[in-house]
């Protein structure tokens, strides 16, 4: 264990109120296969909010959330070959896995029974993992992603979770074919990136949203081809049976059956959103016209690198609101109300130190 130092600080929730405040932490010394990273930016994913409020009933407090980490390498272990000090890198939702099972060998560390998440997870050495709302992190090189030269750290950070979470199901469920019609349900952090990847793949993209105020920018700024307001019966009726697939990113429990109606026969809805309560599916909504409902959890490391490389090539980045560390609790309140266009990103490098110092004074 590295000694606990004042410079090594994070923003932690201590209980289900989810209130975040500074906490001094220890990170392990840089091991032979490890990369030490100075964190510059960290995106705020809705999973961070679910976690700090213990909505999934699995919280290990204190929780330092954050799994959309972008930063700069400060030190590497002696066996590390892929990175050197000064490299721009990212870390997403995983920091370890068994690294030897069939899933890991095929590049699907995300499906490893021994997956270690970036925060709120017990690592293989018995310590609890702390996420990216913190000054630095030490990660096995397998779980570090290289930032392409053209990819900015701030607008690229959200790709480490939001990006791979929508890219992977598009790739593996055949929703990356030019001319196909994909629906993006929920225009938040994940959803807006899904729109951009859909267009980069050459697809027709329709946003299905509960927020009328997002229509204009969905089409004009994000490049969607169409917008369906899910509360508008006429618009839903007109879209019935038109989509090859839907990426469902909604973070809340909503009735899914009417949305399955938007699929063509044999169409697929891929669930990536993780609302608190079980989802109700009337059997006929799936069985009639041979629909599929599938789930998808982030993506493997090779796919994550492929995703960010493709994003750089096509100019896909997140639309972000950069905030200081002292704004994080207000940001969480706004995220709960879907009041963000479209991802908060914390400027860790410039503001976390001051925020921690102000509280300890
Ligand atoms: P987000 O930015 O908050 O976006 C969620 C969107 O869902 C909102 O912008 C809103 O879009 C819609 N929504 C929210 N409440 C709603 C309600 N009551 N009724 C209808 N629509 C509602 O969240 P995110 O960061 O994109 O994450 C989305 C979900 O994916 C979360 O549950 C998160 O935990 C999960 N997630 C899963 C994975 C995975 O590996 N599967 C990875 C990351 C995140 P509109 O305003 O357009 O309706
Ligand atoms: Zn996430
Ligand atoms: Zn494994």
pLDDT tens figures, 25-48: 999 999 999 999 999 999 999 999
- Rounded Cα–Cα distance for residues 208 and 262 (Å): 10
What is the DSSP secondary structure assignment for residue 326, as one 8-state letter? G
Centre of ligand 1 to C-alpha 73, Å, is 31
Query: So what's the pLDDT on residue 38?
Result: 97
Tens digits of residue pLDDT in 224-242? 999 999 999 999 999 999 9
- Rounded Cα–Cα distance for residues 307 and 189 (Å): 16
**Which of 197, 196, 185 minimizes the C-alpha distance to 245?**
185
Say yes or no: CB of residue 250 within 6 Å of ligand 1.
yes
Q: Whose CA is nearest to atom 1 of ligand 1?
A: 188
Query: So what's the pLDDT on residue 361?
Result: 54
Query: So what's the pLDDT on residue 353?
Result: 87
Measured CA angle at 286 (ends 338, 208), to 5 deg: 25
Identify which of 273, 331, 344 to mutate to test ligand 1's pocket (most ligand atoms within 8 A of the CB).
273
- Residue with token string 């060998």: 105
Element (H, E) at 346: strand 343-347
Instruction: Give backbone dihedrals phi and psi of 169, rounded to 5 degrees, phi first.
Output: -65, -30
Query: So what's the pLDDT on residue 3?
Result: 45
Centre of ligand 3 to C-alpha 300, Å, is 11
Supply 277's token pair: 């309560």
Element (H, E) at 217: helix 215-220
Centre of ligand 1 to C-alpha 336, Å, is 9
- Rounded Cα–Cα distance for residues 69 and 92 (Å): 6
Centre of ligand 2 to C-alpha 164, Å, is 9
Within 13 Å of residue 183, how many CA atoms lie on the same side as its CB? 30
Distance from the Cα of residue 39 to its chain's centroid: 17
Sign of CA dihedral 72, 78, 83, 86: positive
Bond prior to 161 in cis (omega within 30° of 0):
no
Residue 138 confidence class, pLDDT cut points 50, 70, 90? very high
- Rounded Cα–Cα distance for residues 151 and 341 (Å): 20
- Rounded Cα–Cα distance for residues 137 and 326 (Å): 20
- Total-model pTM: 0.96
Position 144 pLDDT exceeds 90: yes
Neighbours of 301 (CB within 10 A): 21
Cβ-in-10-Å burial (0-12, 13-18, 19+) of 234 comes to: exposed
pLDDT average, residue stretch 309-332: 98
278 CB contacts (<8 Å, ≥6 apart)?
none
- Rounded Cα–Cα distance for residues 332 and 325 (Å): 12
Position 205 pLDDT exceeds 90: yes
Instruction: Report whether 157 contacts 131 (CB < 8 A).
Output: no
């Amino acid at each position: 264990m590295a000694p606990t130092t004042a410079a090594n600080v994070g923003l932690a929730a201590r209980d289900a109120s989810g209130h975040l405040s500074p906490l001094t932490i220890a990170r392990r010394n840089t091991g032979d296969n490890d990369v030490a990273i100075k964190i510059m930016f960290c995106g705020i994913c809705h999973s961070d909010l679910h976690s700090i409020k213990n909505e999934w009933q699995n919280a290990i407090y204190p929780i330092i959330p954050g799994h959309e980490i972008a930063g700069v390498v400060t030190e590497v272990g002696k066996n590390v070959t892929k990175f050197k000090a000064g490299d721009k890198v990212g870390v997403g939702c995983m920091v370890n896995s068994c690294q030897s099972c069939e899933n890991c060998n095929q590049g699907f560390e995300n499906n490893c029974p021994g997956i270690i998440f970036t925060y709120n997870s017990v690592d293989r050495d018995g310590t609890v993992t702390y996420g990216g709302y913190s000054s630095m992190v030490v990660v096995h090189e397998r779980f570090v992603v290289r930032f392409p030269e053209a990819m900015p750290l701030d607008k690229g950070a959200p790709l480490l979770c939001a990006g791979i979470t929508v890219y992977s199901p598009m790739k593996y469920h055949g929703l990356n074919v030019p001319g196909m019609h994909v629906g993006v349900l929920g225009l938040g952090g994940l959803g807006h990136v899904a729109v951009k990847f859909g267009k980069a793949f050459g697809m027709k993209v329709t946003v299905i949203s509960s927020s009328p105020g997002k229509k204009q920018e969905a089409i004009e700024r994000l490049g969607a081809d169409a917008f369906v307001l899910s509360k508008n019966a006429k618009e839903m009726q007109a879209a019935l049976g038109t989509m090859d697939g839907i990426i469902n990113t909604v973070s809340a429990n909503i009735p899914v059956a009417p949305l399955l109606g938007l699929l063509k026969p044999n169409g697929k809805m891929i669930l990536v959103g993780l609302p608190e309560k079980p989802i109700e599916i009337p059997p006929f909504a799936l069985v009639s016209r041979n629909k599929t409902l599938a789930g998808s959890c982030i993506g493997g490391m090779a796919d994550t690198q492929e995703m960010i490389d493709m994003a750089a090539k096509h100019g896909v980045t997140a639309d972000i609101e950069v905030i200081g560390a002292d704004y994080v609790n207000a940001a969480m309140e706004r995220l709960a109300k879907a009041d963000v266009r479209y991802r908060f990103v914390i400027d860790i490098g410039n503001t976390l130190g001051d925020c921690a110092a102000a509280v300890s004074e």
